[in-house]
Structure 1
Amino acid sequence: MNDTDEKLVFAQERSVSAQSTQHKQPWIVLIVDDDDEIHSVTKLALSGVTLDNKPLRFVHAYSAAEALQCLQSTPDIAMVLLDVVMETDDAGLRAAKAIREDLENDEVRIVLRTGQPGYAPEERVILQYDINDYKTKTDLTRAKLLTTVISSLRSYQQIRTINESRRGLEKIVNAAANLMERHSIYNFSEGVVTQLASLLGLKPEGLLCVRQLDAQNDILVLGAAGHFAKGIQQPLESIESPFIVNAVRRCLERREHLFLDDASVFYIDAKGIQAAAFIESSEQLSDVNQKLIQLFLANIAIGFENVKLFEDLRTAAYKDSLTGLANRAEFIRQLDSALADGEDFVVAITDINHFSDVNDALGQDVGNKLIQAVGNHLAVQFPPPSLVARISADVFGILSRPKGVTPDSMRDSFVEPFTVDEHRIPVLMTTGFSNKHQALDGLDALKQAYIALKNAKNHRIEANAFYHPSMQAETERRLDLVRNLRSDFLQRRLQLWFQPQIELGTGRLVGVEALLRWPQADGSFIAPDIFIPLAEYSGLILDIGHWVLEQACQAMNEIAGDVCDDFRMAVNVSVPQFRQNNFAGEVAEVLARHQVPAQRLEVEITESIVMDDPNLVARVLQQLKAQGVRIAIDDFGVGFSSLSYVQRLPLDKLKIDREFVRSAHTHSGAVIIETIINMGHRLGLQTLAEGIETEAQADYFRQLQVQQAQGYLYAKAMNLEALRAYVAANPCV
């Protein structure tokens, strides 16, 4: 459950006051009754009542028809006190039905009141009509009436909040899609201003200011709209408004949003820059709008990279862009230099335990800030002549003189938790140590420290380990697996199995996913998550990947006569395949040789593949797309999901991970699933739910308009012989 959910479900009670105060937006209550005395009594009973510091305002109608007219002309009515018997015996019931079905108003709360309870029994009315309460007029004392009104208004407010959030998320998807099409730096920046204003329902009057992190006093107006447009590419001080200049500077100095009486200033934190978007507005932002804007700005920060806004700030070849520390290449270079000079040294490779949990729980932005904080802390603890480097995601390296870095010094350095934003995060490090004595070169010394690190993580007796040659036993075991894999592959013992993909609306077979299997002599199988990484590490994945593509095309030809024209064969592709020369050309050659139309092939990639090298992946996928090959994201939502790459890549399909399918019955799981599906629909992408095992799951995703499904409910993965039989039993119709 996220913060928004908690505030909705566990909203604090606010006092109900009977004192008359002046407010801008009162609660509007529609009283519908053909008895004028009922109007007077109700108004008198509720006179002076306020809820959440907002008074009640009454609108009156004396018939069902008049009530419907009021609801059409006054859309913000929160509650209707509706008499059952008016111009006809069931006028109120008909009006309640018309409000929901004809006016399509599902927000207003309806309380039916009757003086003849026997005419319309309570149980039948509650079950048959979408109302919130059903009371007899004699039962509605002032206290009971007040209770009914308060509960109805609170329910109305919660429903409005949910609907506003949903509409806001749809706007964000559309706005982000618009911005990602802008390739000019200044056009993009102007778009940020106009889209922010659009999200808030305001006129586009504002500006976007940027400060480079290495030029603290250089604030530039990079984008502007409305009467600020003439300030583009000018220093902030050129804006003839001390109020605006001071507000922007305060926002950048505090690194937080500012919500002022006549404006809002939004802080944007991207790699290498700080930015502030100033929007003129006298309206106070609601909590919902503030959260939606924060979500939008998170994607805007990524957008700055996509348009290469600050290419001059891109990190040099030997510097890590996030932390400013040396990177892996520089670390190895310094190791080689120390070995060449005959210096005695110790190498420590240390990483943050359970760092992925921080990213998952607090977000990637907090994770990045924690990486920066840990990097800065290590640089202070181990100053020159020691060298601190960021080796990979959450892995740091320390090159120091003997005893310059030890298990004790590492442990003592991480006693206190780190403060990141409002979070206090305890950090535990695991460290592997090596020295020069057994290292052939800098890379060898680094590898030995990595082996020690992996050993420490596997055994967890201590938070550190020193490299010992015996640690290579595990490495040897992995090498044995690689050798066996290579041998079995060359002897054609690997198998390609297939799992059907079904069209949810019709039950029609529309495709299969090709799945690699490695059988053993005893009839068991080695899990793909064990041997695929080994194949990638060894480079064998290139040959295996080519073989899989060949086998998939052969299988496609064997079943082509029994499947529909839109049937597709899905094949998984790994990072090394993307990195090989002319992968797209290889795919085209195989398809042509087997005479398989490119439209029959669907390439599946995971989010981790995208994040490994986004530019390379995007380029290769564009080449495949140009041939007609379809592109799918597998296990969507479990990696570094962002609107940035979803819109940047030429995707056709989002596959919803089976873990989300299993959690569909939970509130948080349902919210995530619906968000993914809505995003897919908005972007014109097909959606497929993986791991469907029950009819209930299938019905759930069918109602959400997910087009396709895959899972044990329909069929397990099967070999080619079983697939031929399955296709024959499920021909194209």
Structure 2
Amino acid sequence: MSDASPSDHDPLTFLDESDPEKQASLSYWSVLIADDEPDVHQVTLLALKDMEVEGRRLKFFHAYSGEEARTLLMQEKDIAVILLDVVMETEDAGLRLVHAIRKELKNTCLRIILRTGQPGYAPEIDTILRYDINDYKTKAELTRTRLFTSMTSAIRAFHQIQQLEISRHCLGMILDATTRWEPAQGLTHFAQDVITEICAMLSIPVSGLVCTMEGETPVILAGAGPHAAFTGKKLSHIDDRRIRDSIEETLRLRQHQLTNGLCLYLHDPQTRAMAVFVDKTLPTEKLQLQLIDILCQHILTGFEKARLYQKIRQTAFEDPLLGIPNRARFLMEIDKGHTESGMLALLDIDGFADINSILDQNFGDTVLQAVSQRLKKNFSEKVFIARISSDVFGLLGPEKEVHSDRIREVFLPPFLIGEESLRLSATSSLIPLPDNSLSAATILKNAGVSLKQAKRFNRGKVVFYDPKHVTAARDRMQMLSQLRQAFTSERLFLMYQPIVNLKTGRITAAEALLRWRNDNGDFIPPDRFIPLAEQSGLMVAIGEWVMRTAFRFLKSLSAIASQDFRIAINVSQTQFREPDFAPKLFQAMEDCGVEPSRVEIELTESVAIDSLERIKPTLGAVCQAGVSIAMDDFGTGYSSLSVLHQLHINRLKIDRAFVSGPGCRLDSQGIAATVLQLAEKLSLQTIGEGIEEESQRKALLEMGCTEGQGYLFSRPVAAEAFEKLLKKQM
């Protein structure tokens, strides 16, 4: 919580003070910063200074608690985005405010960006799904660029939702003003109603046309009676010269024509010029021009309503970029249960995020348009095509068309994007449509789960839906939720495995190993929960906890451990990529009072070879501070001599597969010997993993390996048991 009273902080806006009149004329996007740390407010203001979205600047409001933010939101109705801290006066203050916004204040337009300095307090995916949250990031993740990106996306989403709400409100007003005409049926249907109604007023058979201008060419919007077949065609297709001349003259002179039939001119600044013709000639003296004008205004109002209905329908059910149905329309089509629609497919363009980020969004839009056109070309009208999300398309149609071979054919030829030839691939999932026992949302969700599974394990392939995928996804979500709970309630713990000198048997180090026992008392293997923690972003917080816990343990051994005793900590790829990894490591060592020379971090080969240029500065800083680096599981990845030469590695850990694995050889011809020879050439120290037998220890020692760990010496043990091992050694 901030020491300053929230009332002492007035809302701040960044204005151009040199031109007061310009200030008054500007419109703004209102943004609420809800955080109990004043520094966060100031940093956010500096990061977003001079930001414009859709031609508007930002106006900031400030709240320093959840309750203050709630009061402000009740007063300010036009706030577009809230940057909301999860943990304020209470650990769940932010989430309680989200609930109040959506459920109590009934505010569905406001976009919410959750920020937290303490990952793990908020169940990320569940929170976003339950409360309609735009984004959820740790404060460390929200760099200026990411904050700009999140803010731009949120404001645009707010604007779209706001416009849709306005459109829906207008739709409600229109429905209240019910007339005999039905503008909701669309422009063509409404135009036919207009002809029918005018003919009924004049007591003549239904016969007429409504024309509109398409550029310089009159086009028949709707025909009724004998002219119904001309709907959608050019006026020149009408054989009757009298009718053509009457309509053309009306549009050219921009006035009603009452001689060769009744032809009304309709136009206002919001519509294109139109002519309504009915085949009836009346003496001028029998017509009251004032009544004609009233009728025209009534017709114009109806056309405006019809256009509004059409726009709302397009907004609700059509993708604005591609002009094809969107997800909502796709769900409706599934619910229709057409007998011809026996198969559903989802197509996800591989690497589309890279196309958007490396090239630009306009190029990405062009790629999506090209894919959309290719899909429409390769599939018949029996196949319903929609855009489900950013780069995911949906197909719904008969099995003889929607199948794996046809989908592959779509991406075989290169796509011509401007002047560039681009080869694309897609990962797809296929799911047969069951009977009506499942809802459209459930069917689409199952297809989506299958698609995600395919993206993880069968990239670029077409896979069929398997119910096991849904079960596996549900299990992962449950495990992730349990892991978050276990972390916040301190049910994770460390065990320590001794590393010994192979010659003397003296314990020289301890490797800290993360363990988790669930509520049932069962151990969850690390290879199951650590990947989940990495994918969800939780591993960064867990990794820092591991560091500090291990360092405190090392400090507690000061009286019984030798001066060169060290603690080894595994660092995940996600954790090491964090830009502030090195500062956090140094701070943790300082806080716990341990010397850098007694700390060793273990990296896997995948960490070492991933984005080498990006991680070299971090490795350099860590080594310069005196912390040693060990490459874990060496020989199982893709390291090369050039990579090893460039990295600040102190030790190589020979993977257990080459020490005690099936078929391994512990002689001069084995992989372990090759690794040891390489380490000697590079002046690197070595540790053999997985030593289970005395013969393995002797063989490694004879080949030049200095240290080892494995069940021959000790299994991983709790802190107290490890202390006993050290005391026994003394």
Normalised to the residue count of structure 2, the TM-score between the two structures is 0.41
Kindly name which structure, 1 or 2, has the bigger radius of gyration based on alpha carbons.
2
Normalised to the residue count of structure 1, the TM-score between the two structures is 0.41
